[in-house]
Amino acid sequence: MNSDRTSRATKLLDQLPALIANRFEVMECIGRGGVGVVLKCKDVVLNNIVAVKFLLKEINQEEAARFQREAVTAARLNHRNIVRVVDFGQNQDGRLYLVMEYLEGKTLLDEIEAEGPYSISAALPLLLKICDGLSHAHNLNVLHRDVKPSNVMLAEEPGGKIVPKLVDFGLARIQSQMDEQQLTTGGRVFGSPSYLSPESATGGKIDFRTDIYSLGCLIFEALTGTPPFLGETAFETLNQKISQRAPTLFEKTGKRFPEEIEQIVARCLDVDPEQRYESVSDLRQDLEELYELDSIGGDFMQDEDSEEIDVSETLILQAYPDSGSSSNSHSKNMHRRLNYKAVAVVLFLFLFGISALFLTVQSILFPEIRQAKESDSDKEFYNLGTQSYFYREEFNGYEWLRYKGYDLSEALRELSIIKKVNAVRIKDQDLRGVSLEVLRSKKLHALTLDECKIDDGTLEEISKMTDLNYLDLSECKGFSEKGALKLSRLKYLKRLDLHSSDVTDAVFEAIQSLRLLTFVDLTNCHFQEGRGMENLVNLPLLNTLALGGASVDLSKEGRLSFLQDCTKLRQLSLSYMPITNDDLVYIKDLPLRKLYLTKAMIDDAGLERLREMKTLRELGLFDCLKVTVGGIKELRKAIPGLIVTTK
């Protein structure tokens, strides 16, 4: 399809000037639309390559004035996820042009058509970045008006990182009566029918929620491979949008999707703008929450091996597996290097501006955390060779250098020459007595030392890595209470994973002052009694707590009463603990979305106490032998849409 478009556009070269505005030398035609063509050009003044959107026809004075206003707005915006406008003007023959940065890459639509729909894991990182640009544009009162997959470029940066960039901001205002697949009415309808909001189609009020609807269509297509509505004609498509509820992802594909993403998409695609997200920032927060839930292990991971049971037969719902996980090429390698050809941004782009680097202290699991002092654009990538001691991998928003093994001292020496390192993972090594000065000098944001042997000296060195947001010491052995107390120095820590490590009751004293913590995993930790656990209430942003399998003495009445004051909790695991019906009193009023109670000693009377948890979306009841099908049925009546997993 792209080759056909490019071929047709190339035939126009003979009709175009060889030099636009006596400055931009035409090299090749790389795309076209109803409004004009996109040309790869050489700027003979600055001696660099640019993309020039050149209008195919002269436009009237009103349209020219609008073009100038939109171009001025676009040119002043500068954001990592928006294609930059660098110039605009009028050629000698009166036709207008817009000059943009030239990118290597292809569009999101090209990628979907070539590789099929994305898995949720692969789509979410891209969607979060798209939201970043759109959100800040809205903060500057700039609407896109035509958000769709073909207006998202997947640019490849040095090192292979894929960066989505929004294009064609405001283009629909100019091409409403010209571009193919556009609807034309006397009320000036702007946008592509498959992505157009109902209020746009009927000439209603246009605001930020209009872009949110279009973004919902983009999300839908990224996950299913097709827009939510697609009629035989543009009018039929718009009529469906106005008169019908948007289909669910399941209805469109027959594949199960997590309830969270179904709800997000449905809210974006609501016919009534008042029922949609009020802002892209709100939408982004829900997407980020789902992204982090999708990445977490343990109780919070989707259990792909659990048996799926038809709810109509047993009334017990299964956890939804990630759609397309077995057949979708995106799910096989979320960050695979795309095979790009050089395609410059096809746009006329009335872009928007950057939403400053996002640091959400409300994130849930594995937050994509970065210090404001180091932006993405500052990153320098190290080209790892075949003899390197590290792999590069992307995970939870970080570019990790993962130690391969072989020779730790040589690996640390190699690490010392890498200019910028954001995150390091070292697994199953004896770090006792090993200097970590190299790691400290890199001012890491994330460090994982899972399954390593460490001592108090190791924790002393880690405690000096004060830029850390993310620390994973799961299954680390060999340190004492004294060493654990040193963790209290990590004031910027937001995620702490001590799963199956040697921490004792002293850890609660250590972390109570880490007031930015949003996630704490103490699964399978062997406490003496769990003394000091109540100090967790001092963490005002804590939204995920995993205590599953921890040796906490629950014989003392009210041992878990502190939980009722952890009012930000959204995810909670109390699996493999002797939880009784009485213990549920302390969590029934929390705004939980996910709760895991594997092997709990509760029965149907306990489930009755959970009926008021209207925010609950997933409940894990594996091996809760006293719970009955009837009890689950009544709970699901009280909380529609609740997913219950059991065996």
- Supply the Cα-derived Rg of the chain in whole angstroms: 27
Q: Which has the closest alpha carbon to 122: 408, 379, 377, 330?
A: 330
**Ramachandran region of residue 412, left (φ > 0), alpha (ψ -120 to 50) or beta?**
alpha
> Which spans in 296-383 are helix H?
311-314, 329-332
Contact 503, 531 (CB under 8 A): no
DSSP 84: P
Give the contacts of 169 (CB within 8 A, at least 6 positions apart): 70, 74, 82, 137, 142, 144, 145, 347, 349, 350, 351, 352
**Ramachandran region of residue 141, left (φ > 0), alpha (ψ -120 to 50) or beta?**
left
Contact 640, 616 (CB under 8 A): no
> What is the residue whose two structure tokens read 């997959």?
149
- Following DSSP, what letter does each residue of 15-70 receive, concatenated? GS-SEETTTEEEEEEEEE-SSEEEEEEEETTTTEEEEEEEESS---HHHHHHHHHH
| CA angle, 123 then 279 then 86, to 5° | 75
Distance CA 210, CA 285 (A): 18
98 is written with which tokens? Answer: 């817009």
Would residue 110 show up in a list of annotated catalytic residues for this protein? no
Give the contacts of 590 (CB within 8 A, at least 6 positions apart): 563, 564, 566, 567, 569, 572, 613
Give the contacts of 548 (CB within 8 A, at least 6 positions apart): 298, 299, 523, 524, 573, 574, 575, 576, 577, 596, 598
Distance CA 243, CA 259 (A): 24
DSSP 620: E
- Following DSSP, what letter does each residue of 492-528 receive, concatenated? T--EEE-TTSS--THHHHHHTT-TT--EEE-TT---S
Q: Which has the closest alpha carbon to 486: 474, 524, 473?
A: 473
DSSP 172: H
The number of helix segments (H) and strand segments (E) in the chain equals: 20, 21
Distance CA 532, CA 460 (A): 22
Catalytic residue among 146, 168, 270, 472: 146
Distance CA 299, CA 365 (A): 12
Cite the active site residues. 146
